Amino acid sequence: MADLNKLLTPLFLNEGEIRKIIELLFFSYRDFTEGPDKILEKINFGRAHHRVIYFVGKQKNLTIKELLSILKITKQSLSRVLNQLVNEKYIILSVGEDKRTKKLILSKKGQELERRLSEIQIKKIRNVLLKFNEMDINGFKKILYEMVDDKNKEKFDEINKS
């Protein structure tokens, strides 16, 4: 285990310390996605599929336009992933009120996959958070939130308004 004194230094704004944060983000994200990646690999899916399943599961009747604005990917990139998820019956695609709008919901199969993937990540985060107090956790959340660009904060706030 890393010596926390080497991570917590008064010289926290120098380039070397900021590079440590970059590396911590890299390693923590890699380890955070490892469990779901193994499940996805077995069904020939990747992280793009995971993101689509997660956000379609988060919001009932999400439109393709809304999903594109959350994921910030091209229609072409989404189309490939979404077609695969629809064809393999993880997502149900329906026509909206104006016939041009397409709405997305998870099928039972999609809900089960989303639950399995999220369960791994929730457990990992919960186990880490149990080691810290509320002030530490809120400080961490504030740092992550401030790393998000203002226009993307609006999207985050919108999908987390309840």
Phi-psi region of 142 (alpha: psi -120 to 50; beta: other; left: phi over 0): alpha
Instruction: Assess whether pLDDT exceeds 90 at residue 56.
Output: yes
Q: Considering the chain, what is the average pLDDT of its residues?
A: 92
Q: Report residue 158 as tokens.
A: 């919108």
**Which amino acid does the sequence have at 146?**
E
The confidence band for 98, taking pLDDT boundaries of 50, 70 and 90, is confident
Q: Are 85 and 91 in contact (CB under 8 A)?
A: yes
- Provide the CATH topology of domain 46-131: Arc Repressor Mutant, subunit A (1.10.10)
DSSP structure string for 74-140? -HHHHHHHHHHHHHTTSEEEEE-TTSS-EEEEE-HHHHHHHHHHHHHHHHHHHHHHTTS-HHHHHHH
pTM above 0.85, yes or no: yes
Q: Are 100 and 85 in contact (CB under 8 A)?
A: no
Q: In the prediction, which pLDDT does 26 show? A: 97
Phi-psi region of 89 (alpha: psi -120 to 50; beta: other; left: phi over 0): left
Q: Where are the domains of the chain?
A: 46-131
pLDDT tens-digit map of 102-149:
999 999 999 999 999 999 999 999 999 999 999 999 999 999 999 999
The confidence band for 69, taking pLDDT boundaries of 50, 70 and 90, is very high
Instruction: Assess whether pLDDT exceeds 70 at residue 8.
Output: no
